[in-house]
Amino acid sequence: MKYYLTIFMLLWIVRSFSQAQNTEEKCKFYFDSISNRQIYSIVDVLPEFPGGTDSLASFIAKNLYWPNTEVDFQGKVYVSVIVETDGSLTNKLILKGIYDLADKEALKIIEKMPKWKAGKCNDKKVPVKFIIPIKFVLN
């Protein structure tokens, strides 16, 4: 009986240890030397615009002002942000732009956004790097 109890305990410890490793490996972060903190790039629960993806698309469409220019352009502007633990957006940066005026307009839209639902790692709110595409299309 003692032998079976020892084997059971060993199996239970190994199982617990492997589950702990899997939980830790689900989330990935990098150390940001400027802000001196961890920023997550992979999390259990992604940050979310209030109301979800459809609400985000609607918000962008409502707030998108087409820059007055003689140049015809279209495409996607990719804006990188950090969704903080309180849902605010910081470190706004154009990753890939299409035209100077469109890039500035994309940043204006990001500035108008309400707070998001924060991302989570192991049920704890964490700052998450997130990329928001803003599409400019000619009709």
Percent of the chain with pLDDT over 90: 68
Residue 68: the pLDDT is 73
Q: Convert 68-94 to b/e letters by CB count within 10 Å (16 or more is b).
A: eeeeeeeebbbbebbbbeebebeeeeb
pTM of the model: 0.79
With CA atoms as reference, report the closest residue to 129 among 114, 113, 118. 118
- Res. 75: pLDDT tops 90: yes
Residue 11: the pLDDT is 41
Cβ(77)–Cβ(106) below 8 Å: yes
At 58, is the secondary structure helix, strand, or coil?
helix
* pLDDT per position as a tens digit, 35-57: 899 999 999 999 999 999 999 99
Cα pseudo-dihedral 45, 47, 49, 53, rounded to 10: -60
Residue 138: the pLDDT is 77
